[in-house]
Chains A and B, each alone.
Chain A
């Protein structure tokens, strides 16, 4: 897929996210929009995954979302790659929905293998999965995403020690480095810098990229994959902008967890021009069937 096609898909996923969260009247747009490009690169280009095989792990790359609050972008991505009907996106956060406020397995939503939402736990789980893949000599990859505020949690650093110790060079971790969390700047709430040095000191292969540039995202993943055999896992620190793509929401901590109003939704959807994939509530809306 070309980078321009990926950009179009990412824009459509952002439209989906805005519509879902506005309709739900609650949820987390900031991180969801900011990570749309990385979700697009992973599920529409990089990852080997087939919803028809769900829930088998046979032949599947696995993805874990540690910062579970950005579930809307994951749900939109999973629906657009065929894991469940697009119509279900409008049930986000409603009672009886499979699209829980934070990712859950209990309701049986395809694509999700472990609950998240309580921060700090996903890297440990991903490392465990990577260890299982190693034991079974599986050639597929394990991916995990984390928030930067989430890195305040001590368990992340326990896992950071464990990754190189267990030699899970089949694991690629992303940090959504948008420099914001709920109470404001990450550097004011709990200083994180120099973040690459911290991961290096823990023994990781550290790559820093612009998280909105598909060339950089895909090149970083390709580079991470050359690490196979060294025993060293990779963390990609993706410099991102919270709410990327909606000018009046960009880089403002309030949009971590505030739903847009109807008027704001309309404004946002003008900025995120319609795509040939069509909105999820349009009968002509498209699902990706390409690369399974």
Chain B
């Protein structure tokens, strides 16, 4: 199987900050709006280098989304920056009306997504954001798997015209992809070939999918691993091909089972090519305070959970 050496361990939000600093230099239309979380979103460099294009909005997320829509109408490319929960649930209708329905060119950039935000606990752990955003017509939803992919995706959405939700996180994370100046929104990446089962993973679960594939490989099974960094528009072809060629699918995400990647994939395979499907996700519950790895284990998102789900999917093949 292809080996992915870990370049370093790095939070995805750091790469977001680096990409914003680069975009500040290369694209004069890029502006940033931040809701009192400059340090958390790593925007110090952008704000220092471009004080005229960095707007401190304060803790006023609803106002931030509306203001971003106005800036987009005025010809700018606004990037909004706060935690995932306050980027989505807090401001759902502002996004729905002023961004998605009005098709304004706003980039909603959301850090500290999911359980791995850690000790702050459930109030801050966005587990419904992918569902909320993918429900909106016209919204593009991107969840990069590591720091380098976050960098690539951030650069790509600046070039792309239309509303985007970009989801990343707080903890250190194995950084194993190459920076890709040609990042294709909507195009899944097959990271590992395999015939017995496919794990379709997004965000930080992609690395765990590779770990699970390695464990299963040692047991004589071959596992296709797909990094589905774009949840919407979904790469239907990659999913249907995987269903046809491997006959069993596991999805993996740091999100609620209801409304997430698993639901999106279930829709595709049940309507186009039904095969056994196992969904690894948070099972209809809120999170809690704890350390990132403790929480992933507690809520069924560990590498071992992926291994078990893969075996179960394979065993359900007719």
A and B associate: yes
Given contacts A95-B288, A190-B58, contact A149 B36 (CB under 8 A): yes
Contact with A along B272-300 (1 / 0, CB 8 A): 00000000000000101111001100100
Chain B residues whose CB sits within 8 angstroms of the CB of A183 once the complex forms:
34, 36-39, 56
**Chain A interface (Cβ < 8 Å from any Cβ of B):** 24, 26-27, 68, 93-97, 99-102, 104, 106-107, 115-120, 149-150, 152-154, 181-183, 188-190
A95-B124 in contact (CB<8A): no
Residues of A within 8 A of B86 (CB): 118
Q: Judge whether B119 and A27 touch: CB under 8 Å.
A: yes
B interface, CB within 8 angstroms of A:
34, 36-40, 56-60, 62-63, 85-86, 90, 118-124, 286, 288-291, 294-295, 298
8 Å CB contact of A119 from B59, B289, B290, B295: B59
With a 10 A CB-CB cut-off, give which of A115, A116, A190 has the most chain B CB atoms.
A190
Give which listed residue, A93, A97, A101, A188, contacts B56 with CB less than 8 A.
A188
Instruction: List the B side residues contacting A188 at CB < 8 Å.
Output: 56
A104 to B122, CA, bound (A): 8
Q: Which residue of B lies closest to A24 (CB)?
A: B119
Interface-centre pick from B90, B121, B290 (highest chain A CB count, 10 A): B121
A118-B120 contact given A152-B59, A190-B60, CB 8 Å threshold? no
Select from chain A the residue with minimum beta-carbon distance to B285. Answer: A106
With A100-B288, A149-B59, A154-B60 as given contacts, are A106 and B122 in contact (CB-CB < 8 Å)? yes
Inter-chain contact A182/B36, CB cutoff 8 Å: yes
Cα A24 to Cα B85 with chains together (Å)? 23
Asked if B59 and A120 sit within 8 Å, CB to CB, the answer is yes
Q: How many A-B residue pairs lie within 8 Å, measured between CB atoms?
A: 97
Query: Cβ of A100 and Cβ of B122 under 8 Å apart?
Result: yes
In the bound complex, CA of A170 to CA of B181 (Å)? 60
CA distance A189 to B54 in the complex (A): 12
B289 and A149 form a contact (CB under 8 A):
no
Q: Is the CB of A94 within 8 A of B123?
A: no
Cβ distance A147 to chain B, nearest Cβ, rounded Å: 9
Q: Cβ of B36: which chain A residues have Cβ within 8 Å of it?
A: 149, 152, 181-183, 189-190
Chain B residues closer than 8 Å to A115, beta-carbon distance = 122-123
A106, B125: Cα distance in complex, Å = 15
Sample of 7 A–B contacts (CB below 8 Å): A95-B289, A95-B295, A107-B288, A117-B123, A181-B59, A183-B39, A189-B36
Cα–Cα, bound, A76→B86 (Å): 28
A269 to B300, CA, bound (A): 40
Chain A, residue nearest B89 (CB) = A118
Distance of A27 Cα from B124 Cα, bound (Å): 13
Shortest CB–CB separation between residue B57 and chain A, in angstroms? 7
B118 touches A150 (CB 8 A): no
CA distance A150 to B35 in the complex (A): 11
In the assembled complex, the Cα of A107 lies from the Cα of B286 at a distance in Å of: 11
Instruction: Find the residue from A26, A68, A153, A188 having the highest chain B CB count within 10 A.
Output: A153
Query: Which A residue sits closest to B35, measured CB to CB?
Result: A152
Cβ contacts under 8 Å, A102 to chain B = 120-124
B119 touches A26 (CB 8 A): yes
Q: By CB atoms of chain A within 10 A, which of B40, B85, B86, B119 has the most?
A: B119
Q: A149-B36, A152-B36, A190-B56 are in contact. Are A101 and B124 (CB under 8 A)?
A: yes
A152 to chain B: which residues have CB within 8 Å? Answer: 36, 57-60
Q: A153-B59, A154-B62, A183-B56 are in contact. Are A95 and B123 (CB under 8 A)?
A: no
Residues on the B chain within 8 Å of A119, using CB: 59
**Distance, CA A170 to CA B146, complexed state (A):** 52
Q: Give the complex CA separation of A149 and B39 in angstroms.
A: 16
A95 with B290, Cβ < 8 A, contacts A115-B123, A118-B123 known: yes
Please give me the residue from chain B that is nearest to A71 by CB atom.
B121
CA distance A101 to B119 in the complex (A): 6
Chain A contacts for B122, CB-based, 8 A? 100, 102, 104, 106, 115
A residues in contact with B119, CB < 8 Å: 24, 26-27, 93, 101
A108 to chain B, nearest CB (A): 13
Would you call A117 and B121 a contact (CB within 8 A)?
Answer: yes
- Does B120 lie within 8 Å of A101, measured CB to CB? yes
Chain B contacts for A96, CB-based, 8 A: 288, 290
Closest CB in chain B relative to A65 CB, distance in Å: 12
Question: What's the least CB distance linking B155 to chain A, in Å?
Answer: 25
